[in-house]
Amino acid sequence: MQDVVNQVINTSFGWGWPSWAIALIGYLIVAALLFGIAPFQMLFLTLYERRAIARMQDRIGPNRVGPEGMFQPLADGVKIFTKEDIVPTAADQWVHFIAPCVVVAPTMFMFAVLPWGPGMVPVDMNLGLLFFFAISSVSAVGLMMAGWASSNKFALVGAMRAVAQMVSYEIPAVLSLLAIVLVTGSLSIVELINYQGGLFISTRDVASVPDWGLGWFIFSPVGFLAFIAFFIAALAEGERTPFDIPEADSEIVAGYMTEYSGMKFGLFYLAQYVLNFLLCAITSIIFFGGWQGPGVGWLYAQAITPVNPQGGWVFNVLAGVLGVFYFLTKTYGFFFVMVWIRGAYARLRIDQLMDFGWKFLIPLTLVNIFSAAIWVGLTKWGAADGLAFVEGWSPLVRWAAAFGVTLALNLGAYLFLARIFAQSQDERARQDDDVLEQLTNVA
């Protein structure tokens, strides 16, 4: 963005502004865009979800307000704005007031590190991925504040459950991403996307692969297992079915949102949808290449970039449009999968949820990290790092060896852990005779 602004102002108009001004303008434009995009995403996603889930339930969703219900979210927004804001007198006024902000603000922050197209990232941080998850963990504090400040025991219990769920599923999420970070060697999201050029095999792994933008991580065993684990963890983080105990209608009133009405409830709602959008976006970025797709890399190579300041601005626009199209297609596709899962599955109980997270997903992701390390060793290391025997092999052979080993390891680990977990769950359900008798004092 700054380069485009620089080009426009300095070169085309020849005003010659200092670079800090250009930087400032660039950031302001981007911030304004993001401020508009985030609520728009939420509006669109609410409509999208309602239409999709309605079709899954053999009915049509909202289609009265505007063509195909396009203005339904606006009507919902007006409704929420005009509702009375009721605050219980026993509630902690300040904390009750600030809690929705603490829940919503991090979701807005997370837009800062999301690349929408090639070169279209608001802030290119070296630690973008870590920033993303650090900020998302702040909203858990907001949940606690909301539950406590309502001075309602159901809200408190609901908030504790929600926070326990969020915190315990952050671990498998971050651990599964850690495997990908191991493979790429960088925490920068932009770098992660750039790594995924190629054709089912990333060009960084095997340089002779043509760059069609399809060298996604999902096509490797490490990435596949990480994707499964991450998507499940993202469902739990965003409080979607089957992990939607805090927000489901028939559960514990409305959980931590019980005592909120009007726009404060609207803010919680907004935060939930924006967070889900962001999680879908991160899924598509890390495992499916984000804006990577056939054509984008080639177009961007001829655009104005920091390495190529003489490019044509047309290519910027084209690459941007195509990149954003791929990115949004993948993101909305993942959101459709989230809605699909919501339409298909029943809810997990809180104890089943915690068991699944701690006892199944975390061991699985730990094994995945191990296989990621093996992958890195087999594809990248040489004699200097201690693996002399791989140095003689060609890159393709190295890739194939890594693929095979990690596939075997991941598959074996999944089957093994699944069996153990299933057995433990069955064990839990069964009651032994002596235990029963002990409990009931029946001879």
Partner 1 sequence: MTTETQHGSVIVMDRRRGKLRAGQGLLQGLRVVWDHWAGSFRKNDNFSKIHGTFTVEYPEERLPMPQAYRNMPVLLFDDESGHELCTGCYQCQRICPPQVIHITQAKDPVTGKMVPAATEFIIEYDACMSCGFCAEVCPFDSIKMDHVYELSTANRAALTMRKAQLNRSISYYTGIAPGLWAEVQAGAMKKLQGSIKRRPDVIGLAASLTEKIKARRLELAAAAAAAPAAAAVSAPAAPAAPAAKLTPEEKAAKLAAMKAANANKGAAPAPAEAPVALSPADAKAAKLAAIKAANANKGAAPAPAEAPVALSPADAKAAKLAAIKAANAAKQAEAAPVSVETAVATAPLDAKAARLAAIKAANAAKLAAEQGNNE
Partner 2 sequence: MALILLRRPYGWEPMDLLIQIIFGLLAALIIGAAMMVVTVRNVIHAALWLIASFFAVAALYLTLEAEFIAIVQVLVYVGAISILILFAIMLTRSSEGERLLTKHWWAAALISLGLFGAVLLPTLIGHTWNIPLPTGPVDAPETLSGVEDIGRGFVNEFVIHFEVAGILLTVALIGAIVIAFEERSRRRHVLTLSEEHILRQRQQATAERVSAVADAAD
Give residues in contact with partner 2 (CB under 8 A): 19-20, 23, 27, 92, 94-95, 125-127, 130-131, 133-135, 137-138, 140-141, 144-145, 148, 156, 160, 163, 167, 170, 187, 431, 433, 435-440, 442
Two tokens, residue 128: 């973008």
Instruction: Give the number of other Cβ atoms within 10 Å of residue 428's Cβ.
Output: 11
Using the minimum distance from each CB to partner 1, give the nearer residue, 52 or 178: 52
| Min separation Cβ 131 and partner 2, Å | 5
Using the minimum distance from each CB to partner 2, give the nearer residue, 133 or 336: 133
Using the minimum distance from each CB to partner 2, give the nearer residue, 68 or 124: 124
Cα distance between residue 276 and residue 278, in whole Å? 5
Binding partner of residue 138 among partner 1, partner 2, none, CB cut-off 5 to 8 Å per kind: partner 2
Distance in Å from the first CA to the final CA of the chain: 78
Binding partner of residue 387 among partner 1, partner 2, none, CB cut-off 5 to 8 Å per kind: none
Binding partner of residue 148 among partner 2, partner 1, none, CB cut-off 5 to 8 Å per kind: partner 2
Two tokens, residue 45: 């996603």
* Amino acid, res. 233: A
For residue 422, state whether it binds partner 1 (rule: CB under 8 A): yes
329 to 348, contacts with partner 1 by CB under 8 A?
340-341, 343-345
For residue 57, state whether it binds partner 1 (rule: CB under 8 A): yes
Binding partner of residue 341 among partner 2, partner 1, none, CB cut-off 5 to 8 Å per kind: partner 1
Two tokens, residue 322: 């195509």
Using the minimum distance from each CB to partner 2, give the nearer residue, 228 or 233: 233
The contact mask relative to partner 1 for 390-419 (x = CB under 8 A, - = no) is: -------------------------x--xx
State phi, psi for 202 to the nearest 5 degrees: -70, 145
Cα distance between residue 186 and residue 191, in whole Å? 7
State phi, psi for 58 to the nearest 5 degrees: 60, 40
Using the minimum distance from each CB to partner 1, give the nearer residue, 196 or 365: 365
Using the minimum distance from each CB to partner 1, give the nearer residue, 346 or 443: 346
| Min separation Cβ 62 and partner 1, Å | 11
| Min separation Cβ 419 and partner 1, Å | 8
- The size of the interface with partner 1 (CB under 8 A), counted in residues, is 18
**CA-to-CA separations, 354 to 246, 349, 358, in angstroms, rounded:** 14, 9, 6
Binding partner of residue 426 among partner 1, partner 2, none, CB cut-off 5 to 8 Å per kind: none
Instruction: Give the number of other Cβ atoms within 10 Å of residue 199's Cβ.
Output: 17
Q: Which of 36, 40, 55, 431 touches partner 1 (CB under 8 A)?
A: 55
Q: Report yes or no: 96 and 153 within 8 Å, Cβ to Cβ.
A: no
Q: Spell out a b/e string for 13-33, using b for 16 or more CB atoms within 10 Å of the CB, else e.
A: eeeeeeeeebeebbeeebeee
Q: Which of 66, 91, 92 is nearest to 77 (CA)?
A: 66
Q: Report yes or no: 276 and 240 within 8 Å, Cβ to Cβ.
A: yes
Residues 6+ apart with CB under 8 A from 30: 1, 122
Binding partner of residue 27 among partner 1, partner 2, none, CB cut-off 5 to 8 Å per kind: partner 2
Cα distance between residue 400 and residue 388, in whole Å? 17
Q: Which residues bind partner 1 (CB under 8 A)?
A: 52, 54-60, 63, 340-341, 343-345, 415, 418-419, 422
